Copies of this chain bind each other. A is one copy, B any other.
Amino acid sequence: MLTKSSTELVRQRNSVLVLATLRRHGPLAHTEISDHTRLSSATVSAITADLEKAEIIEKSEQQAASGRGRPRVLFRQRRDCGYLIVVIISSDAVQYSLVDYSGKLIDRFSEERSHDPDGAARFVNGVREGLSRVLARSRISQEKVLLISISSKGLVNSSEPVLVWSPIFGSDQIDFELALKPDWKAKVILDNETLLVAAALGAREENVKGADFRSLAALSLGHSIGLGIIRRTSHGGHEVSAPNFGHMLHMANGGLCRCGTRGCIEAYAGFYAILRTAFEVPLDTIPAKFVPVAELDKIAARARQGHRISGFAFRQAGLALGNGLSRVLSLTERMPIAITGPGTRYYDLLRQGIEEGLGQSHMVRMEGMPELRVVADEQILVFEGHLNRALAVIDEDIVVAGVQGGD
């Protein structure tokens, strides 16, 4: 609102709107675009003609003769309009996916992460090599790569692609913009992994509920704890955020966390923390770098058989999560919480603690327990979130930069 509007801006916005509906509903005919966007038929003609001339969309060749009347011509994104590389950084591997402008996966491979000590700098080189390899395998011109969308666990700068803190590299910041600028002219974006999960779940839920959808939180349980929140803004857009939930203070002077601080939520609810409690190791013990899931499965099995201290470890983790979630809800609003990540396999053991922890707060006592649901397939959701966000960014960039010139 601080900045002026112009008629050109109207066209830009409406062009992006057309591309967005094309994304959401697949190939559409002139009439359908008009229906979905509420733009007049004449305007749709003008916009599609421009986008077609700019080689962003194309008319679909074959159309099923659906009824009588002049047959529809479907518009769809030109797949060769540009490409997107999705980089998903996880604790043990980095996955590279090449996606075309229509959202179709073209190539994918993973590279194992070397757990070498001289971390960040070397890791960045690895990513640069990985990206080169994507190009080499697919024989796509580097110019055609419009966006590199990266995700990681940890804390991300909201405006620049800088990984501020991560469970892997700690405070060794990584500025991907800086690292990739010499080689790539593509734009680089970086998002927290659980933010993408929330974005994907939010988009799915909005497709079902429509305007009834208000907000949603995604909680990822694993070696570390992630939280993503998506909320509708007043203008009909979405606002997503990835609070530093895992390292929010749970209890002053509490258990020692991997990050070096005491009392973080993760120091109670991360896998290593559950292990520590179950084995009655003192809470100020420097936590294990990595915990095999099999180890935790054993504790879970014992807990399910009624072993007291094992059950307590999970309950305490649940309490930390519940208290933390209650604080998040106090600061935002009541919203459904989707629980995801490898830790969901212990949800039967965590649940009671989570609910108890939530129930200890004013907010939950007053407005009631938020809906808790378990969602599987975190990896798919992360990728889906990447596509949602990245392709929207590309649509916007391509319209802003490219349409006026035409070809």
Contact = CB atoms under 8 A, between A and B. Distances in A.
Interface of A: 1-7, 9-10, 13-14, 16-17, 20, 37-39, 158-159, 165, 171, 234-237, 241, 243-245, 247-249, 251-253, 257, 259-264, 319, 323, 326-328, 330-333, 357, 360-363, 365-366
Contacts of A361: 247-249, 261, 263
A4 B330 contact: no
B13 A362 contact: no
Contacts of A14: 4-5
A168 to B, nearest CB: 16
Leading 6 A-B pairs by shortest Cβ distance: A2-B236, A247-B362, A243-B331, A248-B330, A261-B362, A5-B10
A109 to B, nearest CB: 34
Given A236-B2, A360-B263, A332 B243 contact: yes
A331 B333 contact: no
A237 B2 contact: yes
B10 A249 contact: no
A13 B159 CA distance: 26
A242 to B, nearest CB: 10
24 contacts: A1-B17, A2-B236, A3-B38, A3-B236, A4-B17, A5-B14, A10-B10, A158-B333, A159-B234, A244-B330, A245-B331, A248-B326, A248-B330, A248-B361, A249-B327, A249-B330, A251-B251, A252-B323, A260-B365, A261-B362, A262-B360, A263-B360, A263-B361, A328-B331
B319 A261 contact: no
Given A5-B9, A6-B10, A331-B331, A171 B245 contact: no
Contacts of A165: 366
A257 B328 CA distance: 19
Given A4-B17, A9-B5, A264-B362, A248 B39 contact: no
Contacts of A3: 17, 38, 236
Contacts of A261: 360-362, 365
A365 B9 CA distance: 44
A179 to B, nearest CB: 21
A283 to B, nearest CB: 15
A330 B363 CA distance: 19
A247 to B, nearest CB: 4
Given A17-B1, A252-B319, A363 B331 contact: no
Contacts of A260: 362, 365
Nearest to A214: B159
A269 to B, nearest CB: 14
A307 B1 CA distance: 54
A328 to B, nearest CB: 6
Given A252-B357, A261-B362, A261-B365, A330 B247 contact: yes
A360 B253 contact: yes
B259 A362 contact: yes
A244 B1 contact: no
Nearest to A263: B360
Contacts of A249: 323, 326-327, 330, 360-362
Contacts of A327: 248-249, 327, 331
Contacts of A5: 9-10, 13-14, 17
A365 B245 CA distance: 15
A43 to B, nearest CB: 8
A364 to B, nearest CB: 9
Contacts of A241: 332
Contacts of A1: 13, 16-17, 20, 235-237
A244 to B, nearest CB: 5
A270 to B, nearest CB: 13
Contacts of A253: 360
A98 to B, nearest CB: 27
